[in-house]
Homo-oligomer: A and B are copies of this chain.
Amino acid sequence: MEHQLNTLKVKSLGIDTYYENIVFMRSDCQICRSEGFTALTRLVIHHDGKSIIATLDVVHSELLQKNEAALSDVALKRLDVKDGDLISISHLKPIESLSDVRAKMYHKKIDEAAYYRIINDVTDGLYSDIEIAAFIAGCAGDNLDLDEITWLTKAMIDSGSKLKWNGKIILDKHSVGGLPGNRTTPIVVAIVASAGLTIPKISSRAITSPAGTADTMETITKVNLSIEKIKEVVNKEGGCFAWGRLARLSPADDILITIEKALDVDSPGQMIASVLSKKAAAGSKYVVIDIPFGETAKVRTHEDALKLQYYFKTVGNAIKLNIEALITDGSQPIGKGIGPSLEAMDVLSVLRNQKDAPNNLKEKSLMFAGALLELSGKIEKGKGISEARHILESGKAYDKFERICLAQGAFKEPTFAMYKTEIKSKIVGNVTSIDNRKLAKIAKLAGAPQSPSAGIYFDSPIGTKVEKGQTLFTIYSESEGELQYAVDYLKSVNSIIKIV
């Protein structure tokens, strides 16, 4: 009888709450009344031997009948129910790992088992968004030590699928980000794969930046590949440019990143765990990492860059990855484009050896491709960059790039957005510094990365001699509203490009 009282009929309302399980119930249904449930209560929902935890939103209207409950899309999927199915509701037993989260909020060190508990529960969808936010805040700043970062990384690796490559030596490349336009990865992949090595590049989308590698490559080819498709492309061409979501590598990371993005934070510990868990789960053995530092980059001081470098190497070592982390110049954008399509254009111009290709993007790509060639043992120390240059300038890298894109299912040219406005200098002088953050913010306000062709074409690197009225950069946008919004912000801040 208790069980019948406890049963409701599923109604699908098509509500997308991203990763959070939400259940909608009438405030006057028998369950809310008998159990005293109110908004934000966490409940367990059962169907056919499966169960999920969901947060209650209470409905005071005829949207639902008294015997009905609605579930958010992700909850329907996780519980595997559809309209008319019967679900039962029970109280939530305390989730043990939330004690570990509270310990982290109180700045205590927690152990390996605690990280496994937390990450398994996050992966299983047991946490509400506010609980994930509390965990992220507890891990922010320097609150994770090296042990904890290692444990978090291991727990994240084991939370999802792992790729195996039958004895092949797997290479990979990553940038910690924060530098607009720094899109070396597609070029590095093309060069390294041309050299006969294997580099199954699985990238993320932007977290807080105007573009991630996956966003950029999506303007040229398909990136939303299954594990099977990734294997097929890599076995054929030696490399790929894939978005990692479908591969379910370190799926906990995808959930955490959603909330990190909403909070606009990207902490060192979470970042290292996020990067290295994806690499290890993808089966990589040799990884080069780009750590750009500069006053307005993500990493602001040389000291912080050295610390990250040390963390990457140490944690990498603990999980059996061979890491080369290079500290690079983060004082200004790399290339000219900022935003998915605009960065894709830069990539193509370098690969095609066009005369107007941005030289800093080319040279930085060669440096990383060279480091990988050497790290793999394929090329002897000191000769990596010249070998990479040969592969790029001979056109082999572009051929390889095109073949990989076609193997992924498409090759198209990126396009400019419909709306644009040129920002011109009001004075004569020399460019002495660039505010990367504000530049990135303008690109984001203009719509990047959701609007792929939105962003900035940047034409005034440090050292440029500027005439009055000369264009410093151009803002592109897919809607007039967004363009106006970017321009409004630009007007509200101090000089983004310093001219003396």
Contact = CB atoms under 8 A, between A and B. Distances in A.
Interface of A: 2, 6, 12-18, 24, 27, 34-40, 42, 57-63, 72-73, 90-91, 93-94, 98, 102, 105-107, 128-134, 136-138, 140-143, 258-259, 262-265, 267, 441, 445, 447, 450-451, 478-482, 485, 489
A61 to B, nearest CB: 3
A72 B59 CA distance: 10
Contact of A91 (B13, B24, B485): B485
Contacts of A143: 107
A47 to B, nearest CB: 18
Contacts of A141: 105-107
Q: How many copies does the complex hold?
A: 2
A15 B450 contact: no
Contacts of A262: 40, 42, 128, 130-131
A430 B353 CA distance: 87
26 contacts: A14-B59, A14-B60, A15-B63, A16-B39, A16-B59, A16-B60, A17-B39, A17-B40, A34-B481, A35-B482, A36-B451, A36-B478, A91-B481, A91-B485, A93-B489, A102-B264, A102-B265, A105-B137, A105-B267, A106-B140, A106-B141, A131-B262, A131-B263, A134-B134, A134-B265, A137-B137
B136 A134 contact: yes
A445 B91 CA distance: 9
A451 B128 CA distance: 24
A500 B17 CA distance: 53
Nearest to A89: B481
Contacts of A60: 14-16, 73
Nearest to A18: B39
B481 A107 contact: no
A51 B376 CA distance: 57
Nearest to A480: B2
Instruction: Give the interface centre of A27, A93, A136, A263 by most chain B CB atoms within 10 Å.
Output: A263
B40 A258 contact: yes
A35 B37 CA distance: 37
Given A18-B39, A38-B450, 5 more contacts: A14-B63, A15-B63, A17-B40, A102-B264, A106-B141
Nearest to A73: B60
A91 B382 CA distance: 50
A494 to B, nearest CB: 15
Contacts of A37: 450
Instruction: Give the interface centre of A129, A131, A481 by most chain B CB atoms within 10 Å.
Output: A481
Contacts of A259: 130
Contact of A40 (B18, B481, B482): B18
Nearest to A481: B2
Contacts of A18: 39-40
A258 B141 CA distance: 26
A258 to B, nearest CB: 7
Contacts of A94: 441
Instruction: Give the interface centre of A57, A451, A480 by most chain B CB atoms within 10 Å.
Output: A57
A17 B130 CA distance: 13
Given A18-B39, A480-B2, A142 B73 contact: no
A16 B265 contact: no
A106 B439 CA distance: 24
